[in-house]
Amino acid sequence: MKSGHFITIEGTEGMGKSTVMQAVQTYFQSNQRPLVLTREPGGTPLAESIRALLLANYEEEVSEHTELLLMFASRYQHAQTIIAPALKEGLNVLSDRYVDASYAYQGGGRNIPFKHIDALTQWIPNTLMPDLTLLLDAPVHVGLERIQSRGESDRIEQEKVSFFERVRAAYLARAKAEPNRFVVLDASQDKEAVAAQAVSAIQQWEEAQS
């Protein structure tokens, strides 16, 4: 029986996910509640190796289907090895991205029909789907300007603005379709304000559960 809560954080590039992750961790720590922090692609040694494959640059063209399957290969390993045991033990889990990112990036961004992503998602047990998803949302250019100062871009960060516009639209469409699971936060504010919004969204959601 699942007892811990599974929270995910999503958004296009440069939305301040890392600051939110830290703030949520501090919030749980201050309440002496254990929280498992993890990320996708990645989260286990094998899944982190898949992440490196996904983000590296190649001379050959990377097929969108290869990209989707590698995302899910990383996800199954992560879900079985990290998320399932933690939730079973009653721990809360916070993941920097999860299934919604595949709908947004490979579905919206790469135009893979959503039915293909649905088919892969159906392999994941319902108990390993997020209870709450915080979507950090702001105009794409805001995030891209922020990441420009970080130095070299990975393969996905090098995509065009129009790609990220499609990613953002797909995220917003998912949030609209599942209003009970998603909370959309305004990520155009400074990082600390976004993190504070995220913590208060989690507090409110937890109060509503009890």
Interface ranges with ligand TMP (CB under 6 A): 40-41, 71, 96-97, 101-102, 105-106, 156-157
**Which of 172/206 has CB closer to ligand TMP?**
172
Write the Ramachandran bin of 151: left for phi over 0, alpha for psi from -120 to 50, otherwise beta.
Answer: left
Residues 94/39, Cβ–Cβ less than 8 Å: no
SS3 state of residue 183: strand
**Which of 27/105 has CB closer to ligand TMP?**
105
Here the contacts of 148-156 (C-beta below 8 Å, separation 24 or greater) are 154/55, 154/56, 154/57, 155/54, 155/55, 155/56, 155/57, 155/58, 155/62, 156/54, 156/55, 156/105
Q: Which value, in Å, is the radius of gyration of the alpha carbons in the chain? A: 16
**Which of 92/102 has CB closer to ligand TMP?**
102
Q: Which of 191, 202, 186, 209 is nearest to 24 (CA)?
A: 202
User: Closest distance between ligand TMP and the C-beta of residue 50, in Å?
Assistant: 10
User: Closest distance between ligand TMP and the C-beta of residue 110, in Å?
Assistant: 8
**Which of 153/206 has CB closer to ligand TMP?**
153
* Single-letter code of the amino acid located at 66: T
**Which of 4/11 has CB closer to ligand TMP?**
11
User: Closest distance between ligand TMP and the C-beta of residue 209, in Å?
Assistant: 26
Task: Measure the CA–CA gap between 158 and 152, rounded to whole angstroms.
Answer: 9
- Give the CB-nearest residue to ligand TMP: 105
User: Closest distance between ligand TMP and the C-beta of residue 41, in Å?
Assistant: 5
**Which of 131/157 has CB closer to ligand TMP?**
157
User: Closest distance between ligand TMP and the C-beta of residue 32, in Å?
Assistant: 29
User: Closest distance between ligand TMP and the C-beta of residue 145, in Å?
Assistant: 16
The DSSP bridge partners found for residue 38 are: 95
Residues 112/167, Cβ–Cβ less than 8 Å: no
